[in-house]
């Protein structure tokens, strides 16, 4: 489909035309990239709990983007969304057990894809913090993105455990 309305380098947000290089459009693009990496992670996951969790997160990210772009109260990230992320993180951490030192991203394909999504989620969070200095942001969106990276980390470690892949660790004391 071609609307041709963006051929001049602008797009519509909040019923007005803004440049595609604006911080809000940049942020929405970062959220889209994160959502795409979650979709990629889903293609390798066979565990129903992780598939269901990532599916919900993908829908939450659409809500988050709409919240930031339009200030919509109908579609906004809430404290309940953050609590859900926290509960899921605790659940995966119980399964994976405590993590010592610094985990080197990788291991199984499933964990590797989750680690990529985790690092992208951290970039999205940094972009939102920068954007929050220019426009008013629902405080729960920043908290949500902070918790999301923790959940994705926990899922990655759990994925390696489920696949029987041992984590590799970086030991700072070994090099200093």
Residue 45 near residue 110 (C-beta atoms within 8 A) = yes
Listing DSSP states for 59-73 in one string gives HHHHHHHHHHHH--S
Q: Output the pTM of the full model.
A: 0.89
The string of pLDDT tens digits covering residues 60-87 is: 999 999 888 887 777 789 999 999 999 9
Cα 121 to Cα 4, 55, 78, 128, 141, distances in angstroms: 31, 15, 18, 10, 12
The string of pLDDT tens digits covering residues 29-59 is: 999 999 999 999 999 999 999 999 999 999 9
What domains does the chain contain, in order, with CATH numbers? 18-175 (1.20.1200.10)
């Amino acid at each position: 489909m071609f609307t041709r309305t963006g051929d001049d380098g602008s797009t519509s947000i909040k019923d007005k035309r803004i440049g595609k290089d604006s911080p809000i459009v940049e942020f929405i693009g970062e959220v889209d990239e994160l959502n795409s990496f979650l979709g990629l992670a889903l293609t390798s996951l066979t565990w129903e709990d992780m598939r269901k969790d990532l599916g919900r997160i993908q829908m939450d990210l659409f809500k988050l983007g709409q919240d930031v772009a339009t200030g919509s109260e109908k579609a906004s990230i809430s404290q309940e969304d953050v609590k859900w992320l926290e509960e899921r993180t605790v659940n995966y951490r119980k399964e994976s057990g405590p993590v010592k030192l610094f985990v080197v991203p990788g291991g199984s394909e499933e964990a590797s894809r989750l680690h990529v999504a985790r690092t992208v989620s951290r970039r999205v969070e940094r972009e939102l913090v920068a954007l929050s200095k220019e426009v008013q942001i629902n405080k729960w969106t920043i908290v949500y993105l902070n918790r999301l990276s923790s959940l994705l980390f926990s899922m990655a470690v759990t994925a390696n455990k489920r696949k029987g892949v041992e984590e590799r660790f970086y030991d700072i004391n070994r090099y200093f």
